[in-house]
């Protein structure tokens, strides 16, 4: 009787590969954060732009830099589906996670009636953490999809 070969399993990524991938995602996000904070400070604090306009410009510039960083580094091993599809989807996901973050902070402030700056900063940090996880999963699934079903 001959042994039946075991079915081949898709090759799983090593722990080191996952750590590198998440590290790249974090570095790109950190760079985007620094750009957004710095550009906001430059526009609002030094050039006299309105706060809302400074925030809008800083956010769009930081998201665009983050998009290219993720596209060409964090998710470089993934399929390319075209800039005209990827970038609007990337912006939409960031818009949705912004609303999610606003909802978390609003719930802490108005739903739980928290008023302390420390408590609200804690809610802000929770919103950033939740938003980061959601963005990562959504980028993987919809913006930068796997090249094949096994990936």
Q: How far is CA 70 from CA 25, 50, 76, 92, in A?
A: 7, 30, 7, 15
Record the pTM.
Answer: 0.72
**Any long-range contacts for 127-132 (C-beta under 8 Å, 24+ apart)?**
127/100, 127/101, 127/102, 128/101, 130/100, 130/101, 130/104, 131/97, 131/98, 131/100, 131/101, 132/29
How does pLDDT run along the chain (151 residues), one tens digit per residue?
Answer: 555 555 554 555 688 878 888 899 899 999 999 998 899 899 988 998 888 788 888 888 999 999 999 998 988 888 788 889 999 999 999 999 888 988 988 899 999 998 888 888 888 888 888 988 999 999 989 998 887 644 4
How many Å from the N-terminal Cα to the C-terminal Cα in the chain?
Answer: 35
Q: How far is residue 141's CA from residue 38's CA, in Å, rounded to a whole number? A: 30
If 0-12 CB within 10 Å is exposed, 13-18 middle and 19+ buried, where does residue 101 land? buried
């Amino acid at each position: 009787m001959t042994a039946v070969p075991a079915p081949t399993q898709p090759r799983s990524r090593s722990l080191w590969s996952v750590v590198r991938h998440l590290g790249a995602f974090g570095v790109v996000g950190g760079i985007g954060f620094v750009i957004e904070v710095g550009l906001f400070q430059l526009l609002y604090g030094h050039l006299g732009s309105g706060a809302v306009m400074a925030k809008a410009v800083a956010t769009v510039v930081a998201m665009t830099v983050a998009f290219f960083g993720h596209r060409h580094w964090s998710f470089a091993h993934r399929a390319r589906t075209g800039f005209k599809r990827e970038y609007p989807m990337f912006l939409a996901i960031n818009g949705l996670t912004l609303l999610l973050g606003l909802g978390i902070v609003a719930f802490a402030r108005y739903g739980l009636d928290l008023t302390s700056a420390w408590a609200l900063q804690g809610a802000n940090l929770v919103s950033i953490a939740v938003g980061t996880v959601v963005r990562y999963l959504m980028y993987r699934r919809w913006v930068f999809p796997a090249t094949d079903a096994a990936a």
